[in-house]
Amino acid sequence: MAYYAPEPYTQGTWNFYFIAVHPHSQGQGYAARLLHYIEQMLAERGERVLLVETSGLSNFERTRAFYRKQGYEEEARIREFYKAGDDKIIFGKALNTWK
């Protein structure tokens, strides 16, 4: 399951809010295939950018590594966003790579 939506007041910028794969099916590439499908679908519609945010805590390193592996780059870091010691990290990917 995945949830994404357009960023208000922008042209072609979307937010990817979450992706979930049943624990028994994790590690089999389902999340990557689902994300790639969403990217391709948005690109075909002429959308420009897909953003995703996550925590900077060490237990979210696997999540950050997943997005890096999918071609996302760190665009911003807001220090202490969620709570003291927990940064908000925003990753982004240009969707024109699908064209």
What is the Cα 81 distance to its own chain's centre?
18
Structure pTM?
Answer: 0.90
20 vs 99: CA distance, rounded Å: 27
CATH superfamily of 2-98: Gcn5-related N-acetyltransferase (GNAT) (3.40.630.30)
Q: What is the pLDDT of residue 30?
A: 95
pLDDT in tens, the chain (99 residues): 999 999 999 999 999 999 999 999 988 999 999 999 999 999 999 999 999 999 999 999 999 999 999 999 999 999 999 999 999 999 999 998 654
Q: What is the pLDDT of residue 96?
A: 85
* In the chain, domain spans: 2-98
User: H-helix or E-strand containing 31?
Assistant: helix 30-44
Strands (DSSP E) found in the chain: 2-6, 13-19, 49-55, 73-83, 86-94
